[in-house]
Amino acid sequence: MMLRNPFTKALWDARRAILGWGMGIGYVAVMYTAFYPSISKPAFASALQNYPEGLKKAFNIQDMTSPAGYLGSYVFGLLVPVLLAVFMIIFGSRAIAGDEEAGTLDLVLAHPVSRPRLLLSRLAGLATAVLFACAVVYLLLLAIAGPTKTSAVGAGHLAAMTVQLALFGMLFGALTLGVGAATGRRSAAVGAGVVVVVFGYFGNNLAPQVHGLGWVQRLSPFYWYLAGKPLVNGLDLAGCAVLLAVAVVLAAAGLVRFRRRDLAV
Amino acid sequence: MADLAIHTEQLTKMYGKRRGLAGLDLSVDTGEVYGFLGPNGAGKTTTIRILLDLIRPTSGRVELLGGDPRRDGVALRRRIGYLPGDFIVDGKQTVTELLTYLGNLRGGIPRERVTTLAGRLDLDLSAKIRSLSKGNRQKVGVVQAFMHQPELLILDEPTSGLDPLLQQTFLDMVREARTAGQTVFMSSHVMSEVQQTADRVGIVREGVLVAVERVEDLRERGVRRVEIHFEDPVTVEEFAGLPGVSDVTLTADVLRCRLDGRADPLVKAAAKHTVIGLLSEEPDLEELFVTYYRGAPDDAA
């Protein structure tokens, strides 16, 4: 029964969004992967050779001819993680701040539900949504690996990439949930999420090209998500640990403030 | 303090520089119906939200069912039913879905209990919340507050939006709750809403409790209009000078007057004649209440 507790209720209420975003992100991943056979042709590869190095780095286009290089830059390098981040920003900012602004949080917390329990339930809802979207991406890409000539990546490395993607998405869920829980304002949560996506993306791709700004890259979630090249090297434990730790810290910081503050009317 | 359901001492709440409560001392006995009266902005909702631990006091002490709302919040809220002043819930669900969920948060509620309450209030359980009128939404709020038969009911302006017939049904439910030993703490800005059920009323103004009265006492002191029909003509003079009697008018053999306080002198004077009929209106406690609103004159009544 989906009406049993705040966790299942959150999933039930968001069932269409979770399905829709999961399928949508999976669809985008499939579409981009389907282009691989035409891009991997020698003519295309030599055309890319002539692109300035800086431009290629800025757009995460480097090794385009191998399936791992292509998937890493086109599929997992930009659109899929950004879409997942946007999904988490919307879902995470709604989780507490959105309900509080709508006025529905009061009644639930007037029941025998503690604030930590509510926040953790909502966080678990976000995690479930992320896992669903990542599972869809993984299973679809695995299913089309043959026809799209990307099977050289292997199921294991694809799984590693998807795990890093899930943690990357979870970071944005924890960020927006945490900011929303701390402030009670949805706009603040969305703003924080958008700033981290935009600055994170450019920080990872452009900062290393500016002399002396290389360290900025390490502030970006994109760096910890992609730098270990999980499609080539398998799971990057350091990257996973950083993403997970930051997510935990953000959610915990949000909880500390959420427990203490007054709920808005 | 086990016999107090709610007890606060010098409770204050500041919203930045704005005053919410300015030292509220409140005592609600276990098993009584307590009307918490005050104009809008006096601090009624602030008090209630502190009791439910939705907001935290700036200073002062709160004790609720022998516990601390902050420390024992979850355990205490299990024993409380709460109807918010604005009952806002997600409109996409049906009434049954919402009530099932809220019931589950309390560990499950027998289904008959919900259907019985809904039947009494004439509430359609299969309707989507979104499609309900304000009054029907309020009924959902009433059901969820009462359905688990809590020890303490905290009701913030419970009858707003209910039509007169349903207000009566609601007041019956409050009386039954008292009979069952439940404590009811209900806020309102109109006396008439609480005077029918409350044992006591507390009047809050600008964040402090300015008066606590037994409704019976108020009734005794309240101003009422009285009409007496006599068989034979009487004179105005016989009645005009009586204590508490004013505005005496006499048309043929019908005497009309205002009675402030006890009825005894008037009744004794009337008893010297043959009385055919006697009509006494319910005292207008609103009037007493408004004097408190305006800045209580000490013991004027």
The β-bridge relationship of strands B33-37 and B200-205 is parallel
Distance from CA of A215 to the nearest CA of B (A): 41
Average pLDDT over residues B206-212: 91
**Chain A residue numbers touching B52 (CB-CB < 8 A):** 109-110
Task: Identify whether B289 is part of a domain.
Answer: no
Domain boundary pick from B169, B187, B213: B213
- Residue A209: what pLDDT? 82
Residue pointed to by tokens 């008066």: B211
* Lowest pLDDT segment from A62-76, A97-111, B174-188, B282-296: B282-296
Tokens of A252: 């915990």
> What are the C-alpha distances in Å from A135 to residues A23, A26, A129, A141, B42?
10, 9, 10, 10, 54
Rounded to the nearest integer, the mean pLDDT of chain A is 91
Would residue B37 count as lying in a domain? yes
Measured between alpha carbons, how far is A90 from A96 in angstroms, rounded to an integer? Answer: 11
Task: Give the model's pLDDT for residue B57.
Answer: 95
| CATH code for the domain of B103 | 3.40.50.300
What's the whole-number average pLDDT of chain B? 89
Burial class (CB in 10 A: 0-12, 13-18, 19+), B117: buried
Say if residue B1's pLDDT is above 50: no
Q: Please give the pLDDT value at position A59.
A: 63
Task: Indicate if B259 and B200 belong to the same structural domain.
Answer: no
Q: Do residues B123 and B182 both lie within one domain? A: yes
Residue B300 has pLDDT above 60, yes or no: no
In total, how many domains does chain B have?
Answer: 2
Clarify whether residues B204 and B100 are in a common domain.
Answer: yes
Q: Which of A111, A82, A92, A108 is nearest to A17 (CA)?
A: A92
Position B129 confidence tier, pLDDT thresholds 50, 70, 90: very high
State whether B163 and B229 are in the same domain: no
Do B203 and B176 have their domain in common? yes
pLDDT band at B281 (very low <50, low <70, confident <90, very high): confident
The verdict on A47 touching B (C-beta cutoff 8 Å) is no
Kindly state whether residue B230 falls inside one of the protein's structural domains.
yes
> Is B46 among the domain residues?
yes
Residues B198 and B249 in one domain: no
pLDDT band at B132 (very low <50, low <70, confident <90, very high): very high
Q: Of B182, B213, B244, which residue constitutes the final position of a domain? A: B213
Of chain B, the percentage scoring pLDDT greater than 90 comes to 63
CATH code (residue B252): 3.30.70
Domain assignment of residue B301, yes or no: no
- Domain co-membership, B45 together with B146: yes
Residues B239 and B201 in one domain: no
Q: What is the pLDDT of residue B191?
A: 82
Examine residue B292 and state whether it is found in any structural domain, yes or no.
no
| Residue given tokens 């507050």 in the structure block | B145
Is the domain of B134 the same as that of B27? yes
Q: What is the pLDDT, as a whole number, of residue B144?
A: 96
Same domain, B81 and B194: yes
What is the spatial distance between Cα A51 and Cα A199, in angstroms, rounded to a whole number?
24
* Mean pLDDT to the nearest integer, A171-192: 97
Q: Model pTM? A: 0.87
Average pLDDT over residues A138-161: 90
ipTM of the shown complex: 0.87
Contacts of A143 (CB under 8 A, 6+ apart): none
pLDDT at A211 > cutoff 90:
no
Domain end point (choices B166, B188, B213): B213
> What is the least distance, in Å, from the CA of A115 to any CA of chain B?
9
Interface probe, candidates B14, B86, B104, B125, chain A, greatest A C-beta count within 10 A: B104
Residue that is written with structure tokens 């005009």 in the block: B240
Q: B192 and B277 share a domain?
A: no
Based on the fold, state whether residues B186 and B227 are members of the same structural domain: no
Q: What is the pLDDT of residues A220-263, one digit of tens each?
A: 999 999 988 999 999 999 999 999 999 999 999 999 999 999 99
Each residue's pLDDT tens digit, B158-171: 988 888 899 999 99
Chain B residues contacting A via beta carbons under 8 Å: 45, 49, 52-56, 73-75, 77-78, 80, 82, 84, 86-90, 92-93, 97, 100-102, 104-106, 144
- Closest chain B residue by Cα to residue A99: B90
Residue by residue, DSSP assigns A163-191 as: HHHHHHHHHHHHHHHHHHHHH--HHHHHH
Q: Which of residues 105-124 of A touch B (CB under 8 A)?
A: 106-114
Task: Return d(Cα A244, Cα A235) in angstroms, integer.
Answer: 14
Rounded distance between C-alpha atoms, residue A224 and residue A170, angstroms: 13
Q: Please state the rounded mean pLDDT for residues B21-31.
A: 94
* Full domain range(s) for residue B251: 223-282
Whether the per-residue pLDDT at A129 is higher than 90: the answer is: yes
What integer pLDDT is reported at residue A137 of this predicted model?
96
Mean pLDDT of A57-85: 83
